[in-house]
Amino acid sequence: MKVSTDQQQLLIAMRNGSEAAFTALYELHWQNLFTYVMKVVKDEDETADIIQDIFLNLWLSRDKVHRIEDLDAYLFIMARNTSLQRLAAKSKNNKLVERLQCYLAGTHQTETDKMMFGKELKEIVDKAIAQLPNKMREVFVLSREEDLSHREIANRLSISDKTVKKQVSYAIRIIRACIKAKIPILVCTLLLFI
């Protein structure tokens, strides 16, 4: 099935940076994708994360959307692949965390060890925040570091509460992904000092 004319126009507008077009595409497709992903991962929170990752990736690769011939198929393939990757990664991380917990249960962690681990984690988070798109970073910093409510941020930046909520949510997803990618490095670093 080819991309409809309306969807094609939305894709073109999104490619040119239109957040409204992106939001319209999201509204058109998120429910069907959510239903599909939920059947695969069987976890509502994980499903929501995956849907957000799919649309975040669509937004980040918007300069390539002109190549999409069938948007539904494209999104469902992304949903399938992301779901399967997430299940595989979760399985590996669960085994790694389980082994680490068993190991740590038999060791005595000093305050220095805990501080070093915390410092490493903070560095990863700080790098992830620095790599966020400018507007998203600004919203995230106002939310988390200055402890402003979504409404206060929306008023300060002249944007909607919904936009603030989405930006904070996307930022958290990106930061989580960075942390998950670095978990093996953190674990190895921690084990070197235990």
Residue listed under structure tokens 């998203």: 136
Instruction: Specify the range with the lowest mean pLDDT, choosing from 82-86, 107-111, 131-135, 168-172.
Output: 107-111
Kindly report the number of other CB atoms within 10 A of residue 122's CB atom: 10
Sign of the four-CA dihedral 69, 72, 77, 78:
positive
Asked if 23 and 2 count as a contact pair (C-beta separation under 8 A), the reply is no
Q: Is the pLDDT of residue 72 over 80?
A: yes
Instruction: Specify the range with the lowest mean pLDDT, choosing from 11-15, 33-37, 142-146, 164-168.
Output: 142-146
Phi, psi (rounded to 5 degrees) for 185: -65, -45
Which band of pLDDT confidence, cut at 50, 70 and 90, is reported for residue 6? confident
Per-residue burial over 34-66, b = 16 or more CB atoms within 10 Å of its CB, e = otherwise: bebbbebbeeeebbbbbbbbbbeebbeebeebe
Task: Kindly state the average pLDDT of the residues 35-45.
Answer: 89
Sign of the four-CA dihedral 175, 64, 80, 76:
positive
The whole-number pLDDT of residue 33 equals: 94
Cβ partners under 8 Å of residue 104, min gap 6: 194
Q: Is the pLDDT of residue 29 over 90?
A: yes
Distances (CA, A) of 117 to 125, 158, 187: 12, 39, 9
Task: Kindly state the average pLDDT of the residues 98-112.
Answer: 52
Kindly report the number of other CB atoms within 10 A of residue 25's CB atom: 22
The whole-number pLDDT of residue 99 equals: 57
Report CA 80 to chain centroid distance, whole Å: 16
- Please report, rounded to a whole number, the percentage of residues in the chain having pLDDT higher than 70: 75
Q: Is the pLDDT of residue 80 over 80?
A: yes
**pTM beyond 0.75, yes or no:** no
For the domain 1-106, what is the CATH code? 1.10.1740.10
The whole-number pLDDT of residue 81 equals: 87
Query: What's the mean pLDDT when you consider all of the chain?
Result: 80
Which band of pLDDT confidence, cut at 50, 70 and 90, is reported for residue 49? confident
DSSP structural state of residue 2: P
Phi, psi (rounded to 5 degrees) for 193: -105, 5
The whole-number pLDDT of residue 108 equals: 47
DSSP structural state of residue 67: G
Residue spans in the chain of domains classed CATH 1.10.10.10: 108-194
Architecture of domain 108-194 in this structure: Orthogonal Bundle (1.10)
Residue spans in the chain of domains classed CATH 1.10.1740.10: 1-106
Task: Kindly state the average pLDDT of the residues 161-168.
Answer: 90
The pLDDT tens digits for 109-136 are: 555 555 555 677 778 788 888 888 899 9
The whole-number pLDDT of residue 54 equals: 92
Cβ partners under 8 Å of residue 1, min gap 6: 70, 72, 73
- The larger pLDDT score, comparing residue 177 to residue 159, is at 159
